[in-house]
Structure 1
Amino acid sequence: MPDLRRVRLTPEERRAQLIATGVNFLAEHSLDELTMDVLAQRAGVSRPLLFHYFDTRQGMHLAVVTMARDSLLLASEPRDELEPRARIRDTLLRITEFVSQHQGTFHSLVRGIASGDPAVRRVVDESRDLNAERLLDAFTELGTPDTPALRIALRSWVSFTEETLISLVIDRDEDPQVVVRFLEATLDGVVSATGELPL
């Protein structure tokens, strides 16, 4: 690992670099394993310096998870120039490819956060809410009524998708195209079912 003390950076750049080191740690370890001592050793800085930037271990975890989440959201941001169906398919494909390339980080976010700090869990939940909103935009553009049932279904489907990506992409290394077709079929089924509910 590079010794970050030998690189002259602004405080903002230093903090970002420390956070990036923490995100890289998630590629092979769970969030619970990321302590101040571990990050200090990997970054080549003193433990007191980390407390200067993060105050607490929980603050460090929050910053690391936020950056990891934002990387996933950026990589899967919908392309507004595409029509809704193509936009959904393209987004699912890019999420699948991201998970394939960043398996450890994604696994840590989905499976390793459950027992963590409430503020950290909230960061992950915010990404689920945003992904559900992105889907809602596409389906209402296709003419699907915006109902409570649809919103509940899409939010639940996002969580289902996370587990599917772990099972099919990380555990079984399935072809991304096959995974996307499966996800599209389940999404259509969930959305179709909401039309039969008086919600």
Structure 2
Amino acid sequence: MTSEPRSRLSPEQRRAQLIAIGVAFLAEHPLDELTIDELATRAGVSRALIFHYFDSRQGVERAIVTTARDSLLLASEPRAELPPRERVHDTLLRIAGFVREHGGTFSSLIRGVASGDPAVRAIVDESRELNAQRLLEAFTELGNADTPALRVALRAWVAFTEDTLLELIVDRRVDDEAVVEFLEQTLDGVVAAAARARF
């Protein structure tokens, strides 16, 4: 029964299908619970076929995490046409909406990769760096100096925001607008502290 659909998929389609199944798995389970056997069963293919496309379990995990991370980054890409303040507000609202809609996946990414493969952790860290850079661009547009203190503060604030979104939206189901208002206040405080720093 599985050979017929397999023959209709190109290699690119088959690989994309396996990744999509893995991303769907993240919605309900931590990444470290996804075994090759589990993925093969869900896809209706052999273990050998999965190793053909990904070489190793680590290769599977990296592809899945990259896809999930890129979905979040795409959903929260800043709208360049907005002024800086509005851009930050709009981006935070869309991130909150993404987290509410994909809470399991977001939780698996943030909470589940800490003990995993260093390369997988690096993929998630890349998104933190990009989000910090997006904030840096907005605040330098607003006249803040690009200093080491500001860069450190924004990077730390991104990590703080991830935990806040998990706690308030995924766990407690707090209203998105209330969460974003709180995050904006903490962001202003962090930026103000960075401006007063002597480095």
- Per-residue CA shift, 1:89-139, capped at 9, x if unaligned? 000000000000001100000000000000000000000000000000000
8 Å CA contact 1:85, 1:138 repeated in 2: yes
- Distance, in Å, in 1 between the alignment partners of 2:84 and 2:14 is 40
Partner residue of 1:84?
A: 84
Give the TM-score normalised by structure 2. 0.97
**Letter of the 2:174 counterpart:** E
Deviations 1:58-115, CA, capped at 9 Å, x for gaps: 0100000000000000000000010000000000000000000001100000000000
- Letter of the structure 2 residue corresponding to residue 64 of structure 1: I
Partner of 1:29: helix, strand, or coil? coil
Residue 61 (structure 1) aligns with = 61
- 1:137 counterpart residue number: 137
2:76 and 2:41 map into 1 onto residues whose CA distance is: 32
- Relative distance call for 1:90 and 1:22 in structure 2 (3 A) is same
CA distance in 1, matches of 2:176, 2:150: 26
Paired with 1:130 and 1:32, the residues of 2 have a C-alpha distance of 25
Residues 45-124 of structure 1: pairs in structure 2 closer than 5 A: 45-124=45-124
Separation in 1, partners of 2:3, 2:35: 18
Q: Which runs of 4+ in 1 moved over 3 A?
A: none
Cα–Cα, structure 1 residues 120 and 5, in superposed 2: closer, same or farther, change >3 Å?
A: farther
Distance 1:61 1:4 in 2: 25
Unaligned 5+ residue runs, structure 2?
none
Cα distance change of structure 1 residues 119 and 152 upon mapping to structure 2, 3 Å threshold? same
Q: Is the 8 A contact 1:5 1:45 kept in 2?
A: no
Q: For residue 151 of structure 1, what is the aligned residue in structure 2?
A: 151
Matched residue type, 2:34? L
Q: CA deviation at 1:5?
A: 5.5
Match of 2:26 in 1: 26
The SS at the match of 2:196 is coil
For 1:37, the aligned partner's letter is: D
Computed over aligned residues only, the root mean square deviation of the Cα atoms, in angstroms, reads: 1.3
The number of equivalent residue pairs is 198
The structure where helix makes up a greater share of residues is: 2
Q: Which runs of 5+ in 1 are unaligned?
A: none
Q: Distance in 2 between matches of 1:195 and 1:86?
A: 21
User: Residue 146 of structure 1 aligns to which amino acid in structure 2?
Assistant: D
Distance 2:189 2:179 in 1: 16
CA gap of 1:39–1:149, structure 2 versus 1, over 3 A, is: same
Q: Separation in 2 of the partners of 1:15 and 1:198?
A: 51
Cα deviation, residue 4, structure 1? 8.7
**Post-superposition offset of 1:44:** 1.0
Q: 1:5 to 1:105 in 2, by over 3 A?
A: farther
